[in-house]
Amino acid sequence: MKRISILAVAIVLLSSCGGGGNSSQSDAQKFIDNYTEQYVKLYTNSQLAQWKANTEIKKDDSSNTLAAQKADEEMAVFTGSKENIENARKFIAKKAELTPIQVKQLELILYAAANNPATVADLVKQRIKAENEQTQKLYGYQYMLDDKKVSTNDIDDILKKETNVNKRLVAWEASKEVGKTLKTGLVNLRDLRNKTVQALDYHDFFTYQVSDYGMSTDEMMQTMDRLMRELYPLYRELHTWMRYEMAHKYGAMEVPDYLPAHWLPNRWGQDWSSAVTVEGVNLDSVLKSKSAEWIVKDGEDMYVSLGFPKLPGSFWEKSSLYPFPSDSAIKKNNHASAWHVDLDKDVRSLMSVEPNAEWFETAHHELGHIYYYMTYTNPDVPPLLRQGANRAYHEALGTMMGLAAMQKPFLAGRGLIDGNVKTDSIQALLKEALNSVVFIFFSSGTMSNFEKAMYVDNLSPDQFNAKWWELAKKYQGIVPPSPRDESYCDAATKTHINDDPAQYYDYALSYVILYQLHNHIAKNILHQDPRATNYYGHKEVGDFIRKIMTPGASKDWRQVLKESTGDELNAKAMLEYFGPLVEWLKEQNKGRKYTLPETI
């Protein structure tokens, strides 16, 4: 998944043009260039400190956290300085004399300043301190199960494979204990984040983050609602099917109206795909004989086959790719991420790779971020533009490559399955829908609405857990195993709510974009069924992807989508992709009780 710095300084600028033109243009350009030079230096220092804070978490040792805090504070002082704000405003006041690109740059420098305005320097300093402390609590937490130390990988493995409901319950409950230690910090962060951006006239932190798309909060939430409405008939069928299948699997006497959270193979119910095994495509059994290093190297090989270069030696030297032993005194962030440390050549990844199907897909995903960084790091894209076309594009391209790596023709071509083995195409499609369609209702529904309630509506802390489960029931059809009072904070167990806040709609948008891009690649480049593709070795696929990646943020994201696919943002490609599954599910669900309403 994505890596966003603790500062969340989302500078998405348009191309920095050279001097020339009138004196206002050259003065503005001089300011932008000077800003860039200092920004890159401070950004790199911040990233290096954050890397250490995320990869070397030691009990009762806050030195790395304090160093990250110091670097973040220096970055904040610069981006939010009174001088930078006043200069940007001064030049924007003369925007009739400037180029549109310069105006956009200045507007977005002000956007960055809103996260760290010097006018509320004490609040910014408090927020940075609180963010780093929250990160240490989150990733330094020691999970326990039956009085034994376990990792999140261990818990996830139980939830995917264990058939004893009582053992599943114990593991699920263990995964939620961390929320208790995070609630106070999360409430404090909510207040500090809101107050910080309000100093530059944003209503709240969620609205601030959404504005990066050129959208209001209402527009973003309407977009989330539209995506769910379009996909809801399919989700309702999936939910009904899953209730009956899981009840049978666990030997339940009655089929529950809503899915008990501990029945699902994911801690937040965002991915149900491991509930289905596609005959002939049991990757876990194949990959268990491979090494963790092989998983990452094979991912690199896929990109090289498309015409991308090999990963630099520094990637292998500087990344943290494999899990620490469960009894290690040093912990690390257990969430996969990719890092562009200096907005230049230093690219690295933080993962905990193990030889299984989930990490095979995740490795391909994370390397998508890395190759995006490498591709838009070119002489035509200045450092401040070395971002995705929007935040969702990074996820779209990474997830698309993960999806492509899991399709049968690709796996057969890589020798991981027997290409002659007959597989059930509907089961394969069902497995994918239990991943991507199910995820839309978590990301667009539960997560986005919870964070909107928290930041925009200023949700009372004594309602956090009640709101979380109210939304999970409404949008996902999921309920807790038993009542969960406000001593818990189950929302805070989701890492993004702590360290990548108010941006989870990025993932929902990324899924829509990825299916549009994948559909175009399959039909117009490979001339293959979108549900059964093999990207490997097709340089023309690499050329298409590179064309999207190369400009970074120098083109408007809507323009990039229109130019690459010929269409605007919509869920048509996703709906078409899963079309054959709907009729099959309706047949399976005949005579079964539907418990979700007909419309959402």
Give me the CATH number covering residue 379.
1.10.1370.40
Rounded-to-integer distance, Cα 440 and Cα 15, Å: 33
Q: What are phi and psi of 259, to 5 degrees?
A: -75, 120
Q: What are phi and psi of 334, to 5 degrees?
A: -95, 15
Question: Which residue in 425, 315, 309, 328 sits closest to 375, CA to CA?
Answer: 309
Residue pair 326/296 in contact by the 8 Å Cβ criterion: no
Is a pLDDT exceeding 60 seen at residue 6? no
Name residues whose C-beta falls within 8 Å of residue 240's C-beta, 6 or more positions apart in sequence: 585, 589, 592, 593, 594, 595, 596
Q: For the chain, what percent of residues have pLDDT higher than 90?
A: 84
**Letter string b/e over residues 166-205, b meaning 16 or more CB atoms within 10 A of that residue's CB:** eebbbbbbbbbebbeebbebbbbbbbbbbbbbbbbebebb
Kindly state the DSSP code that residue 592 receives in the 8-state scheme. P
Q: What are phi and psi of 149, to 5 degrees?
A: -70, 130
Question: Which residue in 381, 373, 323 sits closest to 348, CA to CA?
Answer: 373
**516 occurs within a structural domain:** yes
Structure tokens at 10: 């989302």
Quote the pLDDT of residue 21: 53
| Number of separate domains in the chain | 1
Phi-psi region of 458 (alpha: psi -120 to 50; beta: other; left: phi over 0): left
**394 occurs within a structural domain:** yes
Show the domain range for 292.
279-423+504-569
**371 occurs within a structural domain:** yes
Structure tokens at 96: 């009739």
Is a pLDDT exceeding 70 seen at residue 180? yes
**197 occurs within a structural domain:** no
Tell me the pLDDT tens digit for each residue of 28-54: 999 999 999 999 999 999 999 999 999
**273 occurs within a structural domain:** no
Tell me the pLDDT tens digit for each residue of 279-310: 877 889 999 999 999 999 999 999 999 999 99
**415 occurs within a structural domain:** yes
Tell me the pLDDT tens digit for each residue of 119-175: 999 999 999 999 999 998 998 899 999 999 999 989 999 999 999 999 999 999 999
Name residues whose C-beta falls within 8 Å of residue 559's C-beta, 6 or more positions apart in sequence: none
Tell me the pLDDT tens digit for each residue of 104-116: 778 888 888 999 9
Q: How far is CA 349 from CA 311, 388, 469, in A?
A: 11, 17, 33
Work out whether the CA dihedral 11, 14, 20, 26 comes out positive or negative.
Answer: negative
**538 occurs within a structural domain:** yes
Quote the pLDDT of residue 598: 94
Model confidence at 9, in pLDDT bands (50, 70, 90)?
very low
**Across all residues in the chain, what is the average pLDDT?**
93
**203 occurs within a structural domain:** no
CA angle 153, 356, 154 (to 5 degrees): 15
Question: Which residue in 34, 35, 72, 76 sits closest to 50, CA to CA?
Answer: 72
Rounded-to-integer distance, Cα 124 and Cα 91, Å: 25
Q: What are phi and psi of 348, to 5 degrees?
A: -155, 165
Work out whether the CA dihedral 503, 504, 509, 510 comes out positive or negative.
Answer: positive
**Among all chains, which residue has been given the structure tokens 């991912």?**
299
Residue pair 175/143 in contact by the 8 Å Cβ criterion: yes
Rounded-to-integer distance, Cα 23 and Cα 311, Å: 43
DSSP 86-112: HHHHHHHTTGGGS-HHHHHHHHHHHHH
